């Protein structure tokens, strides 16, 4: 038994270190000038608006069906529960110790996508999930990926809907509002961003957009707020989840999208295959961007004050994200799995839910600061905070093994 435990810890450690090394590639590339800030921003936008929706459609759509809807419903409830609890913890820390307001979303919204997906891929290589996989490790990993993606979907919807209200304007200097496209209209000047559409069509599109913007601003404030909230929910990530649910829950569409071609899967070999191709880029690309953005935090002009985040805030974020949630998540899910029927019969689901709250803050915090118009120093301070929290990520190996042992114990308790 001790040797098996050592092997499990070593395998989980290797998987977590592989994620950290992937991040370091982005850091090194940025330090060598291969990746610049605007490039990283564009890649991050691609990951968020194209690669992730494609991944949701293929991974969730292929795993979801009418029989396992209760499993996914349990993830919805758990994702909302731990997000709300994390917000309360973050607000308490800010109120008691006077930390910056960005501490709250840093505590509340962890890396729910690229990190667990890369970690799960690494665990597949080490083989330590065999004990809960029921003899089909690759199928178990595919299920785990879909569970993590559902959690990510809920987390991202909550992030864009709630986080803007969590950032204090005193900590994040708001700059003047700019156009919806982030500056001068790109069609006004020739260049690499000039639209390829004919000018009459482009002018018509511009007039429609201006009319819509004008109509929105003419609306009463009580109506504008709900519309902004709805717009925050209806982002590409949400649409990817909606499409995945439609494909997964309609048997005819599910068969057409994911069955073999000779078994009625006439969409599988071309449309779904192309989505899998771009979806598979998401995890590594986003973690690579994380590394490149962390590099930016070290590019401080000599005359500027150092953008060091408060040490207490960094320690609190690490403690809550890794220690407190590890102490809460594993026992709670163990109890629900071993003593009730609320979480179904899939041990991979239990293990995945134990790990969902336990990871560093998500890079989506940087996007929120961009949206809030935060000054560069605040963004660099947050980037350094993220660097410090990711440096301790190998600690996840202990949590992974702890969750694995708890899952195996829940199996024995359930089936004895």
Q: At residue 303, does pLDDT exceed 70?
A: no
In the structure encoding, which two tokens stand for residue 69, read together?
């809807």
Q: At residue 191, does pLDDT exceed 60?
A: no
Average pLDDT, the chain: 80
Cross-strand partners of 361: 110
Which of these, 313, 221, 226, 274, lies nearest to 58 by C-alpha position? 274
CB 149 within 8 A of CB 143: no
What is the biggest distance separating any 2 CA atoms in the chain, rounded to whole angstroms? 73
pLDDT band per the 50, 70, 90 thresholds, residue 329: very high
Handedness of CA 358, 362, 365, 371 (dihedral sign): negative
pLDDT value of position 349: 94
pLDDT value of position 170: 52
For residue range 249-287, what is the model confidence (pLDDT) as tens digits? 899 999 999 988 888 888 888 899 999 999 988 888 888
For residue range 374-411, what is the model confidence (pLDDT) as tens digits? 677 777 788 888 888 888 888 888 888 899 999 999 98
Length, in residues, of the chain: 416
Tell me the domain boundaries of the chain. 2-162+228-415
- Chosen CATH of 2-162+228-415 out of 2.40.10, 1.20.1530, 1.10.357, 1.10.860: 1.20.1530
pLDDT band per the 50, 70, 90 thresholds, residue 231: low
Q: Can you give the pTM of this predicted structure?
A: 0.80
pLDDT value of position 237: 83
Which of these, 145, 136, 141, lies nearest to 115 by C-alpha position? 145
For residue range 49-104, what is the model confidence (pLDDT) as tens digits? 899 899 989 998 888 888 888 889 999 999 999 999 999 999 999 999 988 888 88
Rounded to 10 degrees, what is the CA torsion of 322, 324, 326, 329?
-130
Residue in the structure block whose two tokens are 């999930």: 129
pLDDT value of position 175: 38
Which of these, 65, 40, 10, 11, lies nearest to 299 by C-alpha position? 40
């Amino acid at each position: 038994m001790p040797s098996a435990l050592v092997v499990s810890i070593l395998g989980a450690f290797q998987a977590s270190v592989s994620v950290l090394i992937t991040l370091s590639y982005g850091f090194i590339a940025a330090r060598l000038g291969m990746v610049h800030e605007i490039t990283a921003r564009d890649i991050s936008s691609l990951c968020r608006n194209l690669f992730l929706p494609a991944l949701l459609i293929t991974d969730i759509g292929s795993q979801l069906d009418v029989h396992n809807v209760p499993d996914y419903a349990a993830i919805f409830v758990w994702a909302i529960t731990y997000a709300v609890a994390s917000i309360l913890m973050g607000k308490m820390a800010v109120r008691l110790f006077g930390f910056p307001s960005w501490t709250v979303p840093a505590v509340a919204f962890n890396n729910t996508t690229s990190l667990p997906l890369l970690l799960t891929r690494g665990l597949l290589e080490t083989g330590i999930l065999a004990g809960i996989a029921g003899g089909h490790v690759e199928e178990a990993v595919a299920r785990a990926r879909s569970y993590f993606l559902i959690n990510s979907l809920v987390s991202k919807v909550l992030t864009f809907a709630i986080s803007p209200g969590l950032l204090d304007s005193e900590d994040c200097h708001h700059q003047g509002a700019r156009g919806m496209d982030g500056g001068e209209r790109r069609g006004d000047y020739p260049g690499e961003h000039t639209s390829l559409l004919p000018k009459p069509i482009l002018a018509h599109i511009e007039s429609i957009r201006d009319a819509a913007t004008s109509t929105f601003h003419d609306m009463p404030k009580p109506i504008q707020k709900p519309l902004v909230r709805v717009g925050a929910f209806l982002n590409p990530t949400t649409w990817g989840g909606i499409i995945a649910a439609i494909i997964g829950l309609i048997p005819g569409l599910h068969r057409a999208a994911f069955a073999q071609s000779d078994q009625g899967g006439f969409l599988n070999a071309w449309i779904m295959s192309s989505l899998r191709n771009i979806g598979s880029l998401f995890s590594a690309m986003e973690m690579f961007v994380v590394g490149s953005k962390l590099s930016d935090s070290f590019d401080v002009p000599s005359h500027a004050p150092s953008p060091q985040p408060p040490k207490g805030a960094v320690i609190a974020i690490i403690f809550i994200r890794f220690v407190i949630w590890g102490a809460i998540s594993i026992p709670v899910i163990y109890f629900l799995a071993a003593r009730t029927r609320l979480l179904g019969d899939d041990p991979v689901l239990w293990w995945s839910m134990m790990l969902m709250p336990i990871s560093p803050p998500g890079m989506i915090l940087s996007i929120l600061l961009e949206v809030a118009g935060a000054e560069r120093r605040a963004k660099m301070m947050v980037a350094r905070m993220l660097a410090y929290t990711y440096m301790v990520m190998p600690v996840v190996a202990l949590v992974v093994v702890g969750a694995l042992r708890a899952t195996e114990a829940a199996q024995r308790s359930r089936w004895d």
